[in-house]
Amino acid sequence: MSVDLVPVDPHDAAAFAPWFAVLDACLEHDRPGEPHWGEGEQRVLAVGVVEGDMGRTGTLLAAVEGGRVVGAARAERFTLDNPHLCRVVVCVHPGARRRGTGTALLEACRAWAREHGRTVLSGEVDEVGPDAPGRRFAERAGAELGLRETRRRLDLPPDPARVAALRAEARERAAGYALVTWRDAVPAHLLEDRAAMEARMSTDAPTGDLPWELEQWDGARFREHEALQARMGRTVLSAGAVRDGRLVAFTDLGLPRGDPRLAYQWGTLVEPAHRGHRLGALVKTAALEGLVAAAPECRAVVTWNAETNAPMVRVNEALGFVVDGMLSSWSLTA
């Protein structure tokens, strides 16, 4: 049976629903029973992509077989930085794999990237087991592995003794730094510092062999990012360290309001000149304690780290995070 590739308008709820259903089926197949992105979150993100928000613009495609959507793809290019890159997501329903649908979607994304002057595709694979189908697909497509990150999980509530010991050690080493916390929106007087750290995060965090260049961030773009998280129905709990009025370290925890059982430890960064003072531990313990207080129904936190990022790995292990899979990032010539 032939497969037709058709564009999807995320403004149209009826058209978007079967596209999302493919992503949802893939996530449930890979991690059964685990909370994951809801339809509302994905649709807000997709609308932002096709409307050109947040320094990127893109397209959605559905693979239709016999009147049923069996595959979904999203391709997006950056408009403020990384002009060579196109980021792609390709999913095929578990019941419709190994029939060429993923390859057809990938080739369509590749053509779209070339049409818009992009030379490299990039994408991620959640390697739940040693024989992850996404990894096999990437290898067959000729993609190159750029980075592998370990996924770690912390069941909540955390061991209070572990958290207290890490917090006490961090406070002792971080004398002279002020701890600040915020929810959803960084305080205005720290906005430009936070935006600059987001730019640094794009290259300071380990990127392996991925062809990633410095992202361009300012306060206005960061406020757009915060507004997007709010529209997606997410609470963001953050903590930072301040020295001489400047934000020099931060961490963010994301929590879906619609299903707060699982939280996500997002970026954590300490400015190079301020490393060695246990600021990573200071802000992470503060954010974690804020999460436990704000969302007692949350059952776990997941995070990802390259093993080369030894300081962050040590902090996570000290908090009690345990290995729960891998995330690999791949690149492919367009």
Q: Are residues 110 and 156 in the same domain?
A: no
**Tell me: the pLDDT tens digits for 208-231?**
667 778 889 999 999 999 999 999
**Listed residues 100, 118, 136: the one ending a domain:** 118
How far is residue 318's CA from residue 321's CA, in Å, rounded to a whole number? Answer: 7
Tens digit of each residue's pLDDT (9 = 90 or more) over 190-209: 999 999 999 998 777 666 66
Note the pLDDT of residue 291: 97
* Residue-level pLDDT at 215: 87
Establish if 145 belongs to a structural domain: no
Q: Is 99 helix (H, G, I), strand (E, B) or coil?
A: coil
Domains: count for the chain: 2
Distance of CA 249 to the CA centre of its chain: 19
Regarding whether 164 and 87 lie in a shared domain, the answer is no
Q: Given a cut of 70, is residue 73 above it in pLDDT? A: yes
- Check pLDDT > 70 for residue 89: yes
The 10s digit of each residue's pLDDT in 109-124 is: 999 999 999 999 999 9
* pLDDT tier for residue 53 given thresholds of 50, 70 and 90: confident
**CA dist., res. 76 & res. 79, Å (int):** 10
Q: Partners of 154 in the beta sheet? A: 301
| DSSP-assigned beta bridge partners for residue 31 | none
pLDDT value of residue 110: 96
Domain assignment present for residue 142? The answer is no
Q: Do 49 and 176 sit in the same domain of this protein?
A: no
CATH number at residue 228: 3.40.630.30
* pLDDT at 15 exceeding the cut of 70: yes
Looking at the fold, whether 156 and 111 belong to one and the same domain comes out as no
φ, ψ dihedrals at 199, nearest 5°: -65, -45
Indicate the DSSP class of residue 185.
S
Cis peptide preceding 157, ω within 30 of 0: yes
Q: Is the pLDDT of residue 280 over 80?
A: yes
Q: Which of 35, 54, 34 is nearest to 44 (CA)?
A: 54
Domain span at residue 51 reads: 3-118
In a domain, 172, yes or no: yes
CA distance 72 to 236: 28
Dihedral sign, CA of 186, 191, 195, 196?
A: negative
Question: Which region among 163-167, 170-174, 206-210, 244-248 has the lowest average model confidence (pLDDT)?
Answer: 206-210
Conformation bin of residue 213: beta by default, left when phi > 0, alpha when psi is -120 to 50: beta
**Three-class secondary structure of residue 144 per DSSP:** strand
| CA gap 241, 277 in Å, rounded | 11
pLDDT, one tens digit per residue, over 93-150 is 999 999 999 999 999 999 999 999 999 999 999 988 767 888 999 999 999 998 899 9
Residue 125 in any domain: the answer is no
Residues 54 and 183 in one domain: no
CB 219 within 8 A of CB 241: no
* Backbone phi, psi, residue 32, to 5°: -60, 135
Rounded CA-CA distance 118/83 in Å is 7
Res 308: pLDDT: 87
Determine the Cα–Cα distance for residues 44 and 11; give it in Å rounded to an integer: 9
For residues 249 and 116, give the distance between their C-alpha atoms in angstroms, rounded to a whole number: 37
d(CA 101, CA 62): 10
Name the band, by pLDDT with cuts 50, 70 and 90, for residue 245.
very high
DSSP 168: H
